[in-house]
Amino acid sequence: MATLSFSSLKPNTLFSSFLFPSKNISSRPIIYTLPDRNTPPLTFSAAKRPPAASATNSSSSVTVETVSPENDDNSTVFVIRARNRTGLLQVITRVFNILGLSVEKATVDFEEDYFVMTFFVTDSRGNKIDDQKSLESINKALIDAIDGDDDAALSVAPSDRGVVVRKPRLDFGERKGQAERMLGLMDVFLKNDPISLQKDILHHVEYTVARSRFSFDDFEAYQALAHSVRDRLIERWHDTLIHFKKEDPKRVYFLSLEFLMGRSLSNIVINLGIRDQFADALSQLGFDFEVLAEQEGDACLGNGGLARLSACQMDSLATLDYPAVGYGLRYQYGLFRQVIVDGFQHEQPDYWLNFGNPWEIERIHITYPVKFYGTVTDEFLNGEKCKVWVPGEMVEAVAYDNPIPGYGTRNTINLRLWAAKPSDQHDMESFNTGDYVDAVVNRQRAESISSILYPDDRSYQVALQLNDTHPSLAIAEVMRVLLDEEHLSWHRAWDIICKIFSFTTHTVSPEGLEKIPVDLLGNLLPRHLQIIYDINFNFVEELKKMIGLDYDRLTRMSIVEEGAVKNIRMANLSVICSHTVNGVSRLHSELLRTKLFKDFYDLWPHKFQYKTNGVTQRRWIVVSNPSLCALISKWLGTEAWIRDIDLLIGLRDYATNAELHQEWKMVKKVNKIRLAEYIEAMSGLKVSLDAMFDVQTKRIHEYKRQLLNILGIIHRYDCIKNMDKNDRKKVVPRVCIIGGKAAPGYEIAKKVIKLCHAVAEKINNDNDIGDLLKLVFIPDYNVSVAEMVIPGADLSQHLSTAGHEASGTGSMKFLMNGCLLLATADGSTIEMVEEIGQDNVFLFGAKAHEVVALRKKGPTLKVPLQFSRVVRMIRDGHFGFEDYFKSLCDKIEGTSDYFLLGADFMSYLEAQAAADKAFVDEERWTKMSILSAAGSGRFSSDRTIQEYAENTWDIQPCRCPF
């Protein structure tokens, strides 16, 4: 008997072989030996087995027999005779899995186009199944499953749209021939040697991009490269999904309305471990990998930290082998493109899909109806009254799958994004009346709708994670499905809801909590509003039993907010219905317990946890800073830190090593050169590499206090202008870099951007200042720009008024890259100080517990003269536009200074002076930089996800075998 090793075969080859046997099957049986010891070998043999007691379905010629094995006393043998078809093996094995049975081995015989399949089966304890009643039940389940799926060749498109696709039936000889061809072409994984990669790239140039392989440009080369990478990504993705199906683990479904993925190419090839191979192959074709990677556009499907956090967590879920699926929305337009004209922000649409997205797979056959408007009626079902929602409008949600690979693992999980499309039925009605314009308008209207879709809710072995309150309508939707479609009792449905949902909030103030007007929700989703009212009624009634008639507290905790405008408090809904409520830093958790959700914490203290946010080192060191990545690996003697980032702490042993210092400074200089070249290309401004690159990049907001940074720059400029030449020689040169977008309707934030440009215009053109001070605003800041800015930064500013930043993941990215932090004691900064030591951070400003007292002082609060002077310079038109900036100055003087810029200004200047002093001491600065990177391991999203998996979701890794 010949044996074929399975080590070079794709796992799904087993299924292909079972369904399409080789023509040599009758003459020589083949055993496929799998490396996974839990998977039985499959033997093909022409030998026939004797008949035995059987169960038969007369309508389909399906028989199941139970026989006694000749040489095996530990298993029960099931012999199944059925017509072969695609998917038959999966149907049979699924039945055994559902019944908790294990298949030890299997053989297959054939009779014309019928297969006789023999399975050696044991129960969950590895014992033979002897009970006659159990055997009959198993036989019946097998027949029901096989016969019920017998028309697998007939496929009807989703939503009953009447499109029928029939797969051609091949005769047995044709199927065998087809199988041989398929196996010959697809029984091994795609190769990664230079010749194979070059062939694949050129193949995609000619057949995917439709260009001549003798004439194509960088963008076309990028497209071909991306599709070649995607081929290899999809192999792993399919294998992972098959493995998850086989193992059937509890899964987590991560719901977020924002995923800020950025570019994907570099991250994917690094996680797949084939970056160098592709770079070499491209080099031989005359292309540079880095140049082609720059051709990719950013997928900006989100705004700021929460969205980027979601992307980092998907990377960690894949890397740590957790069975997970991300769900979000496929926005046609990303976050707006920021264009600066004369220093003013202008918004333009981000047409990120104009040139296609090679990383997504459109699943036009996976659609779900999403219903809106309409009415709710009462109907009787089995003698019981039930609610029926009759929607007034419906759109189709179409799935787009985005494979997310893990690092150092075969696991590749799925991020499924949904796009809204018009219902075909609605369009046909419009066209039947000849109203073409109305059909177009309805299509545009449908495609503008954002909707939350949920995974299969019929399996209770799931965990649904709400990333902030944006997807919290999923609670009402799952409840609706369980009540109205599955017809569960309220008690049973509520019990399921409270077990599967967990909630992470990123909000720090009551004003930031999401609310939906009742009138809007009642009009748009009437049944969901009914369910929310019922949830609230039951909750309030139970609450009265616990706290009595404390109406103030009952009012605060109610999901429904009464008032001139009646609202649904989505945060209250999420807290009530989730088994766990997570903060995103220790300080944030304290704010949730003592302020934001104090009433709920007093009621359910066991619900409240915190898991400090993290970012992925794969993106923020390996991809964005390859020189530092190589240096770290060299000194640690391993690349294992890329998966186990706690190993970074080993850098502490070399923090004073002169050789490491020299190499560390060289890496920083290379990154500063790259950033300086970008600044010059973007703005025409040349900056000195000897200067401290001082960076603040984040969403423009009053609480993030970019204005404090600009006021400090004005003060520095004013001081330099008033120095004599000898004193100027002592000034530490600075390149101050600010970047970020202001929300389109946020006028104060837009004025901060204009002020930054006005100050830069003054400073950068002052010959007295020269290279001592430069100010640069980076427009349209996004993930790709961040990958260049962060490695090149010496100092990073995080200036939020204490108590206003939930976590602050931006500081973690800078920390990993050895950038020193100048920050308030806010968000996760407090925990960073614990990891790297207070001597390695420049802290300033009021603490969170001091902010309330400072605000109460109001007009009696004294501000330093330096602060008053720089504000006066702006008011007096020193930088022009005095009328335009008047309201900006009014916001930060007297009782209007809510975010305490004046109160913190002196402390801020002292921290800046401390940074100057440290920077001129190269040895001290480099040591601080090394210790910052060494202490950043705690702030990896790997750690965050592991804590969620163990403490919130209760899921286990499910590693796909290589």
CA atoms within 13 A on the CB side of 823: 30
Residue 177 pLDDT class (50, 70, 90 cuts): low
Residue 402 contacts residue 376 (beta carbons within 8 Å): no
User: Does 84 have pLDDT greater than 80?
Assistant: no
For residue 953, the 8-state DSSP code is I
Q: With CA atoms as reference, report the closest residue to 657 among 932, 919, 926.
A: 926
Q: Which residues pair with 591 in a beta bridge?
A: none
Confidence grade of residue 759 (pLDDT, cut at 50, 70, 90): very high
Q: Are strands 608-610 and 515-517 parallel, antiparallel or unpaired?
A: unpaired
DSSP character string of 606-640:
GGEEE----B-HIIIIIIT-HHHHHHHHHHHT-SG
CA distance 962 to 953: 26
| Choice between 188 and 410, residue whose per-residue pLDDT is larger | 410
Going by the DSSP 8-state scheme, the letter that residue 704 receives in this structure is: T
Nearby residues of 675 by Cβ (< 8 Å), 6 or more positions away: 693, 788, 789, 791, 792, 793
Determine the residue type at 466.
L
pLDDT in tens, 880-930: 999 999 999 999 998 889 999 999 999 999 999 999 999 999 999 999 999
462-486 pLDDT per residue, tens: 888 999 888 999 999 999 999 999 9
pLDDT-based confidence at residue 107 (cuts at 50, 70, 90): confident
Query: How many angstroms separate the CA atoms of 825 and 843, rounded?
Result: 7
Kindly report the backbone phi and psi dihedral angles of residue 217, in degrees, each rounded to the nearest multiple of 5, phi listed first: -95, -175
pLDDT of residue 331: 87
Q: Report the distance separating Cα 695 and Cα 776, nearest Å.
A: 10
- Of residues 107, 809, 926, 944, which has the active-site annotation? 809
The amino acid at residue 504 is T
pLDDT at 5 over 50: no
Verify whether residue 809 is a known catalytic residue. yes
Cα–Cα dist 254/307, whole Å: 12
What single-letter DSSP state applies at residue 252? E
Torsions phi, psi of 937, nearest 5?
-60, -35
Beta strands 30-33 and 2-5 are parallel
- 461 band by pLDDT with thresholds 50, 70 and 90: low
Check whether 28 has a pLDDT greater than 50.
no
Distance of CA 218 to the CA centre of its chain: 29
**Pick from 358, 387, 394, 357: which is nearest to 373 by CA?**
394
Determine the pLDDT at residue 439: 53
699 catalytic? Reply is yes
> Does residue 803 contact residue 591 with C-beta atoms inside 8 Å?
yes
Task: Please state the rounded mean pLDDT for residues 390-395.
Answer: 91
Tell me the C-alpha distance between 829 and 108, whole Å.
63
Does 763 or 509 have the greater pLDDT score?
763
Q: Which helix (H) or strand (E) holds 664?
A: helix 658-683
**How many Cα atoms occupy the beta-carbon half-sphere of 563 within 13 Å?**
14
* pLDDT tens by residue, 35-77: 333 334 433 333 333 334 345 443 445 666 666 555 556 788 8
Does pLDDT of 162 surpass 60? no
Of the given ranges (44-53, 632-641, 931-940), which has the lowest mean pLDDT?
A: 44-53
In this prediction, what percent of the chain has a pLDDT beyond 90? 66
* pLDDT winner (highest mean) among 155-169, 694-708, 855-869: 694-708
Q: Which of 330, 371, 704, 750 is catalytic?
A: 704
Angle of helix 436-447 versus helix 424-432 axis, rounded to 10: 160
**For residue 360, how many C-alpha atoms fall within 13 Å in the half-sphere facing its CB?**
22
- pLDDT of residue 816 exceeding 80, the answer is yes
Pairing mode of beta strands 567-569, 773-778:
unpaired
In 3-state terms, what secondary structure has residue 377? strand
Give percent of the chain above pLDDT 70.
83
Q: pLDDT band for position 427 (50/70/90)? A: very low
Residues 204-243 have pLDDT tens digits of 999 999 999 999 999 999 999 999 999 999 999 999 999 9
For 220, residues 6+ apart whose C-beta sits below 8 A from its C-beta are 205, 209, 211
Q: Is 506 an active-site residue?
A: yes
Any bridge partners for residue 348, and if so which?
337
- DSSP class of residue 950 equals I
Let me know: does 650 contact 639? Beta carbons within 8 Å: no
Instruction: Name the region of 342 (left: φ>0; alpha: ψ -120 to 50; beta: rest).
Output: left
Nearest Cα residue to 455 out of 545, 340, 368: 368
Active-site annotation holds for 762 = no
Is residue 813 annotated as a catalytic residue, yes or no? yes
Closest CA to 244 of 463, 412, 74: 412
Q: Quick one: pLDDT band at residue 404, thresholds 50, 70, 90?
A: very high
The secondary structure of residue 427, as a DSSP letter, is H
Q: Mapping DSSP to helix (H, G, I), strand (E, B) and coil, where does residue 928 land?
A: helix
Query: What pLDDT shows up at residue 63?
Result: 67
**E strand spans, 373-456:** 375-381, 384-390, 393-405, 412-422
**Average pLDDT of the residues in 157-161:** 34
Helix ranges (DSSP H) in 561-603: 570-577, 586-591, 598-603
Helices and strands (DSSP H and E) totals, the chain = 35, 34
For position 429, what pLDDT does the model report? 47
pLDDT over 70 at 163, yes or no: no
Per the residue annotation, which of 652, 699, 762, 875 is the catalytic one? 699
Cα(615)–Cα(547) distance, rounded to whole angstroms?
Answer: 41
Q: Which tokens is 13 given?
A: 């080859």
Alpha helices in 507-562 (DSSP H): 518-524, 526-547, 551-557
pLDDT value at position 72? 54
Residue 111 has pLDDT above 90, yes or no: no
Q: Give the best-scoring range by mean pLDDT among 24-38, 58-72, 844-858.
A: 844-858
Angle at 401 between CA 395 and CA 405, to 5 degrees: 155
- Longest Cα–Cα distance of the chain, Å, equals 107
Q: Which of 330, 416, 588, 813 is catalytic?
A: 813
Strands 734-739 and 773-778: parallel
Active-site annotation holds for 704: yes
836 and 935 Cβ atoms separated by less than 8 Å: yes
pLDDT of residue 344: 96
Residue 904, Cα to own-chain centre: how many angstroms?
36
Q: Do the Cβ atoms of 34 and 42 come closer than 8 Å?
A: no
The more confident residue out of 108 and 294 is 294
Give the pLDDT confidence of 655-696 residue by residue, as tens digits.
999 999 999 999 999 999 999 999 999 999 999 999 999 999
Q: What is the pLDDT of residue 154?
A: 30
Banded pLDDT at 161 (limits 50, 70, 90): very low
CA angle 69, 73, 77 (to 5 degrees): 35
Taking Cα atoms as reference points, which of 67, 66, 119 lies closest to residue 88?
A: 119
Average pLDDT rounded to a whole number, residues 237-257: 93
Query: In whole angstroms, what is the distance from residue 204 CA to residue 670 CA?
Result: 35
* Other CB atoms within 10 Å distance of the CB of residue 798: 23
Choice among 275, 371, 470, 506 that is catalytic: 506
Higher local confidence (pLDDT), 451 or 135: 135
Residue 108 has what pLDDT? 74
Query: Three-class SS of residue 337?
Result: strand
Residues in the chain: 962
- Of all helices (H) and strands (E), which one includes residue 185? helix 172-186
Which of the residues 698, 701, 715, 716 is marked catalytic? Answer: 698
| Per-residue confidence (pLDDT) for residue 146, from 0 to 100 | 77
Reported as a single tens digit per residue, the pLDDT across 693-727 is 999 999 999 999 999 999 999 999 999 999 998 99
Q: What is the 3-state secondary structure (H, E, C) of 536-549?
A: HHHHHHHHHHHHCC
